[in-house]
Structure 1
Amino acid sequence: MTMESGYRRRLVLGLAAALAAGGLTACGGDDADGGSDGKTKISVMGLPPTTQAANRAAFEERVREFEAANPDIDVEPVEYKWETTTFQAKLAGGTAETVFLVPFTEPGSLIERRQVADLSAEVGELPVVQKINPKILDFVRVDGKTYGIPIKSYTLGLIINRDAFVKAGLDPDRPPTTWDEVRTTAQRLKGHVDVPYAQLTTKNGGGWHLTAMTYSLGGTMQQEKDGKWVAAFNAAPATAALDLLKTMRWQDRTMGDKPLLSSEDATRDFAAGKIGMMINGSEVFNQYLTVYKADPSTFGIGALPQGGGNQTLMGGTVAMMNPKATAAQRRAGLKWIDFYYLRVLHDPAAAGTDAAGRKADNLPVGTPLVPMFDAATTAAVDAEVAKHANFPLAHAGPYIAGNGTLGFQVEPPVAAQEVYAALDPVVQAVLSRDDADIPDLLGKAEKTVAAALARAQ
């Protein structure tokens, strides 16, 4: 999938202070969703954990602002963050939030299983939705009906430790653009950083990043055959990606000695200066700054390195609603989605106020992401955010420029998290055993995925 070029510079999280939410009107009516005070009550996913004190305080303040502007709505923020292993249990148990957030991998299966609310009627009352890039909005539309609101989209790139690059005599403004260059750069980083190149391997991260590498090498994870999606990763591109990791791990010794590495582990170690390069999205900067208090000047990002595919993985986040939500709750939920997530993407005044407030609180401002709205809307918002950006924008030049020339390939269309989970052990095995049989590992994983795809279709 390709998208309009250019990247808006902003952080999705946050909203302008003291903005009244407009558009939808939430009222209790005859719906059994209110309390004795007559308010429409909704629960919303997204409250940051106590370990992220600044982000948590900012979220709670936004809730207070929203309730002040909408006195007929009562918002209950919930700390739960989407996890593939627990979310289905929440849905089945009836404990899912009114408004919950899922990655781009999930809407298709949730819609097919009728586990999310149809928002078509209420979305018609929120005109700004019509300005969202239709290629992104298509992720949540089936048969002309709308089941969610995309709130963020991103692409993966190559995060680099600029200090380590300088120490190794490398130019941090010219990160590797091919996988061959990644390998030689990692060799030059040896002795200047603990782990020259790190690869995620757990919590579906191994499969996720292997998928991105496969795309960049000209491959795919699934293909359509006779009206069904089938596994297609047991082929040359994924094999080449794993061969590269195997060579870097066992021959070059540039990947450290930890075969089990989560996204949290990698971000922590990168912030501590222990990792030279890793795949990730630009938003990893948010934790880098707010959780680990790391120095922004050492953070750099380039486009995803390529090996003939000229593609990078595009993902994102969608806000969806509990299928049990009443009409009043759906209206209230959409007001919250616009107030908290969308307004800073389409309203320049809101974006500027939010950016100024976040910068004052030392929260990330200006992180480059894929634009959600049309070019004119994005440009107006970017101009306001740029006045307050604390993200080192000059260090993202290769990422922004590189992605302007790459195609965007979406995550596997069916059972993506199951695909990633099946591939985690493959990446782990390659980094754990120097005699790992890559074709055999991929063949076994493909059988596992084939069963998951059969269940999902």
Structure 2
Amino acid sequence: MKSPARVLLAGVATLATVGALVGCSAAGGGSDDSSGKTELRVATFPPGADEAAYEAFAEQEKQFEEKHPDIDIIGVEYEWEGPTFAVQLAGGSLPDVFTVPFTDAKTLLENDQLMDVTDEMEDLGYTDSFNPIILDAVTGDDGHYYGFPRQAYANALSYNRQLFEEAGLDPDSPPTTWDEVREYAQQITDATGKAGYSQMATNNTGGWQLTVGTAARGGRTQIDNGDGTAESTIDNDATKEVLQFLHDLKWEDGSFGSKVDLDWGTINQEFAAGNVGMYTTGSDIYTALVRDFGLDPDVYGITVLPLDGEDAGPLGGGDIAVMSPTIDDETKAAGVEWIDWYYMQKLLNEDAAVADAKALSESDQAVGTPLLPVLSRELYDESLTWIEPYINVPRDQMTPFTDNIWDQTPVGEAKVKTQEVYALLDEVVQTVLTDENADIDALLAQAQTDAQALLDE
């Protein structure tokens, strides 16, 4: 077993109680006339989370309200999805405190849709603690801060150890090249009839994972000009290699599987059900797979992405705890208290980290899912020693990732019109997976033109 300082693991917080979800309303937060407390609506799990997750949150909610008796926490089911998020935000149906991916923050900042928390972040002393690259994700053109980065991850290759064994593959020796991924996928399909490899293709996730594959092969889909503008570089050799790889898995090998319209939620369902041998996604996925999709922990494996090319790296990502600028001052103050206590303190304070890990562990929730530090690596490594007694994820099954991720340099996601370009690239991925004779060169040429038009708007 590796020492905590060498293992890339961190506890992941969970949210909401069943009663809160049943009783919450769509109205905004604020003073509750009946109790005198400030009602704070906070984002919780996507639909499908297990009962134990709610039990864990109930304990955390109790701890918070004991420290803040003037605040009443109300959980609201929440799952960020690119195509529907803007409608929810415009319609005022989001909770007071919610999370968004790094990639969506810049668009929200441009549209003045996030609450300025500069003074609060400085008062709490966080501005000097964050990794500057990650802090940039919540920094507006005015130099102010509009959210709290709460977690980061690197994209990785998740795989099913049981399907590996059934195919005669060693689950402790996952593939290290894309050619090996293809070979392993073929063996899995031949031996089990399951999809040896699958990939997301809809709801902006097709473009996201196409970009992941591009970065892992040394390419980039966008060049940031540093002045708020960008140049589309989708039509490159690395992106072409990814699409050819998907084409060959689907049409030559038959190892991709029949489902070509999967997104983040549905591919996780398929993987948890044992229908997918390998897929690429964020290194933080273990928590959701077990909590929301019923994955058997014994079958889970994760490894770093195969890298090919001088500038190759795993595409990074993460999310930010934010608030709407339309909430009142009282709700904002309560929201900052919640974000600080629930998301941030366990990254900085030993007592908070232990209390969080203990509450999760006692409810059989994941403690130790692989993440990347949003603060310094030194502080991150130290925090792992705090929660070591409570880490309950199968670390021995994660060593292909945790032993090797520090040798890879994460690549940041594109900053301009990121989600819009991902949506555009969905169509390219779907075409390759549904048309055996798809012209990849023509698809990329058109996608580059269309993407540049988006960037020039």
Taking structure 2 as the reference length, the TM-score comes to 0.89
State the one-letter code of the partner of 1:328: E
Q: How does 1:7-406 map to 2 (within 5 A)?
A: 8-14=8-14, 33-36=30-33, 37-49=35-47, 51-142=49-140, 143-193=142-192, 194-225=194-225, 227=227, 228-308=229-309, 309-406=311-408
Q: 1:294 to 1:181 in 2, by over 3 A?
A: same
Per mean C-alpha deviation after superposition, the further-off stretch among 47-56 and 195-204 is 47-56
- 2-side partners of 1:47 and 1:184: how far apart? 36
Alpha-carbon distance in 2 for matches of 1:379, 1:101: 25
Listed one character per residue, the Cα deviations across residues 246-297 of structure 1 (whole Å, up to 9, x for unaligned) are 1121111111122212222222222222211111223322233223433222
Q: For 1:213, give the aligned amino acid.
A: G
Conservation of the 8 A alpha-carbon contact between 1:196 and 1:276:
yes
SS in 1 for 2:315: strand
Shift, 1:38, TM fit: 4.2
Runs of 4+ in 1 over 4 A off after TM superposition: 5-8
CA 1:164 to 1:307, structure 2 compared with 1: closer, same or farther past 3 Å? same
Amino acid at match of 1:270: F
Cα gap change, 1:285 to 1:50, in 2 (>3 Å): closer
2:329 & 2:390 partners in 1: Cα distance?
A: 39
Partner Cα distance (2:344, 2:428) in 1? 38
| Paired residue secondary structure (1:387) | helix
CA–CA separation in structure 1 for the residues paired with 2:261 and 2:90: 31
Deviation track 1:155-198 (CA, whole Å, cap 9, x = no partner) reads 11011111222233322222112212211222222323311111
How far the C-alpha of 1:128 sits from its partner, in A, is: 4.1
Residue 129 of structure 1 and its aligned partner are, at CA, apart by 4.8
2:218 counterpart letter in structure 1: G
C-alpha change, 1:307 and 1:387, in structure 2 (3 Å) is same
SS of residue matched to 1:106 = helix
Displacement after TM superposition at 1:439 (Å): 1.5
Q: Give the counterpart letter for 1:361 in structure 2.
A: S
For 2:362 and 2:315, how far apart are their aligned partners in 1? 33
Contact 1:161 / 1:273 at 8 angstroms: preserved in 2? yes
- Runs of 5+ unmatched residues, structure 1: 16-31
Q: CA deviation at 1:323?
A: 1.0
Q: 1:323 to 1:402 in 2, by over 3 A?
A: same
**In 2, distance between residues paired with 1:69 and 1:259?**
49
Percent of residue pairs identical: 36
- Given that residues 50 and 56 in structure 1 are in contact (C-alpha distance below 8 angstroms), is that contact kept between their aligned partners in structure 2? no
Deviation at 1:201, TM superposition (A): 1.0
Tell me which moved more, 148-157 or 76-85. Answer: 76-85
Whole-Å separation in 1 of the counterparts to 2:118 and 2:356: 29
Assess, with a 3 A threshold, how the Cα gap between structure 1 residues 429 and 48 changes in structure 2: closer, same or farther.
Answer: closer
Which one-letter code corresponds to 2:31 in the other structure? Answer: G
Contact 1:48–1:56 (8 Å) recurs in 2? no
Residue 14 of structure 1: how far off its partner (Å): 4.1
2 CA distance for matches of 1:348 and 1:225?
Answer: 41
SS in 2 for 1:159: strand
- Give the SS at the match of 1:319: strand
Check whether the contact 1:355–1:385 (CA below 8 A) recurs between aligned residues.
yes
SS of equivalent residue, structure 1 residue 328: helix
Is contact 2:159-2:300 (8 Å) kept? yes
Counterpart of 2:23 in structure 1 is: none
Amino acid at match of 2:224: E
Distance 1:38 1:355 in 2: 31
Query: How many angstroms does 1:209 deviate by?
Result: 0.7
User: Aligned partners of 1:372, 1:7: CA distance in 2, in Å?
Assistant: 16
Moved more, 340-349 or 147-156: 340-349
Give the 3-state SS of the residue equivalent to 2:31 in structure 1: coil
Distance in 2 (alpha carbons) for counterparts of 1:289 and 1:252: 30
Relative to structure 1, is the Cα distance of residues 62 and 48 closer, same or farther in structure 2, using a 3 angstrom cutoff? farther
In structure 1, C-alpha distance between the alignment counterparts of 2:86 and 2:346, rounded to whole Å: 30
* Separation in structure 2 between the aligned mates of residue 376 and residue 402 of structure 1, nearest angstrom: 17
- Work out the CA distance in 1 between the residues paired with 2:359 and 2:58: 14
Could you tell me how far 1:135 is from its partner in structure 2?
2.1
The DSSP-based 3-state class of the residue aligned with 2:54 is helix
Tell me which moved more, 146-155 or 318-327.
318-327
> CA–CA distance in 2 between the matches of 1:428 and 1:377?
42
Q: CA deviation at 1:302?
A: 0.5
CA contact (8 A) 2:360 2:367 kept: yes
Q: Report the equivalent of 1:27.
A: none
Could you tell which deviates more after superposition, 217-226 or 172-181? 217-226
Query: 1:98 offset after TM fit, Å?
Result: 2.3
- Counterpart CA distance in 2 for 1:297 and 1:180 is 26
Shift in Å, 1:357 = 2.8
Give the whole-Å Cα distance in 1 for the aligned partners of 2:93 and 2:168: 54
- Displacement of 1:424 in angstroms is 1.1
Q: Distance in 1 between matches of 2:54 and 2:427?
A: 34
Q: Cα RMSD over matched residues?
A: 2.3
Partners of 2:12 and 2:366 within 8 A in 1: no
Question: What is the Cα deviation at residue 47 of structure 1?
Answer: 4.4
Runs (5+) with no aligned partner, structure 2: 16-28
- TM-score (ref. length: structure 1): 0.89
Between Structure 1 and Structure 2, how many residues are aligned?
435
Q: 1:63 to 1:103 in 2, by over 3 A?
A: same
CA contact (8 A) 1:12 1:151 kept: no
- Decide whether aligned partners of structure 1 residues 91 and 291 sit closer, same or farther in structure 2, where only a CA change above 3 A counts: closer
* 3-state SS of 2:442 partner: helix
Letter in 1 for 2:364: N
Aligned-partner SS, 1:435: coil
